[in-house]
């Protein structure tokens, strides 16, 4: 992975990044299954630099932390929780809101970086598959790892009303280049598609604890967009 510089003056950012580096090292070390590999730190630094790019408002390190925290909550449902954690690191590693191939480019990044970092081919393939799954957030029945990653990524939909409103505002900022009318139309289409799903969350925890509030948040946002 090519190193890149990073400027971040936000209060607490250094502590957050240090904690994330530790979480990366733990997941990577376990994924290696005892095999040797290069130092984990440069890979973490490269990924953190990507997550701190200036075009991001919602898809930031705060989102990465939240997804990893939700994966920890759901880890018992996963077949390979560390593969899911690595997929969380890569799932928005390439993010340009004006492009449609972000997930594919993020998966390709994982396919290049993880073998170099000492991760076995099978785990690398699973991480890349999971990253590509975030295009649809529609895991097949029995896809335990996919269910955990998708639920963790969508858990923001079940946030408190205030946090959900902040999330919606950040998404709008990321798409600031889109005129208001076009954004409202496109966002409303996304919300209706989500509300049309038989289930937003696939894990038992997500279905029980997140589904009702998420649907209420989505309906509230959709109503606000129509005014």
DSSP 35-68: ---S-SHHHHHHHHHHHT-TT-SSSSHHHHHHHH
Query: What per-residue confidence (pLDDT) applies to 8?
Result: 41
The two tokens of residue 207 are 């279905």
Residue 29, burial from CB neighbour count under 10 angstroms (0-12, 13-18, 19+): middle
What pTM does this model have? 0.93
| Separation between Cα atoms, residue 16 and residue 50, nearest integer Å | 15
Asked if pLDDT for residue 2 goes beyond 50, the answer is no
**Residues near 105 by Cβ (< 8 Å), separated by ≥ 6?**
94
| Separation between Cα atoms, residue 124 and residue 6, nearest integer Å | 26
| Separation between Cα atoms, residue 84 and residue 40, nearest integer Å | 17
Asked if pLDDT for residue 12 goes beyond 80, the answer is no
Indicate the pLDDT class of residue 35, thresholds 50, 70 and 90. Answer: confident
The two tokens of residue 52 are 């701190």
Q: Where are the alpha helices (H) located in 91-198, listed in sequence order? A: 102-116, 121-133, 144-154, 161-174, 180-195
Indicate the pLDDT class of residue 1, thresholds 50, 70 and 90. Answer: low
Q: Which of 4-13, 63-72, 107-116, 117-126 has the lowest mean pLDDT?
A: 4-13
In percent, how much of the chain has pLDDT > 90?
A: 91
Half-sphere exposure of 99 (CA within 13 A, CB side): 11
Mean pLDDT of 155-165: 98
- Write out pLDDT tens, residues 92-150: 999 999 999 999 999 999 999 999 999 999 999 999 999 999 999 999 999 999 999 99
CB 150 within 8 A of CB 137: yes
| Separation between Cα atoms, residue 88 and residue 131, nearest integer Å | 8
- Write out pLDDT tens, residues 175-216: 999 999 999 999 999 999 999 999 999 999 999 999 999 999
Q: Is 203 helix (H, G, I), strand (E, B) or coil?
A: coil
**Residues near 176 by Cβ (< 8 Å), separated by ≥ 6?**
none
Asked if pLDDT for residue 29 goes beyond 50, the answer is yes
| Separation between Cα atoms, residue 123 and residue 115, nearest integer Å | 9
The two tokens of residue 93 are 């590693």
């Amino acid at each position: 992975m090519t190193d890149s510089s990073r400027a971040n003056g936000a209060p607490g950012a250094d502590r957050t990044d240090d904690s994330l580096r530790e979480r990366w090292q733990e997941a990577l070390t376990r994924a290696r299954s005892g095999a040797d590999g290069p130092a984990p730190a440069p890979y973490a630094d490269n990924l953190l630099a990507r997550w701190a790019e200036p075009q991001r408002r919602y898809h930031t390190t705060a989102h990465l932390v939240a997804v990893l925290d939700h994966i920890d909550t759901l880890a018992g449902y996963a077949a390979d929780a560390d593969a899911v954690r690595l997929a969380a690191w890569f799932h928005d590693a390439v993010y340009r809101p004006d492009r449609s191939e972000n997930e594919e480019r993020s998966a390709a990044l994982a396919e290049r970086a993880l073998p170099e970092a000492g991760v076995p081919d099978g785990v690398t393939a699973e991480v890349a598959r999971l990253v590509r799954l975030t295009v649809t957030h529609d895991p097949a029945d029995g896809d335990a790892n996919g269910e955990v990653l998708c639920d963790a990524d969508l858990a923001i939909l079940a946030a408190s009303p205030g946090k959900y409103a902040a999330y919606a505002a950040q998404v709008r900022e990321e798409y600031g280049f889109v005129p208001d009318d076009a954004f409202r139309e496109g966002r409303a289409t996304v919300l209706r598609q989500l509300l049309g799903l038989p289930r937003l969350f696939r894990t038992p925890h997500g279905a029980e604890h997140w589904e009702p509030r998420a649907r209420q948040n989505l309906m509230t946002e959709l109503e606000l967009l129509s005014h």
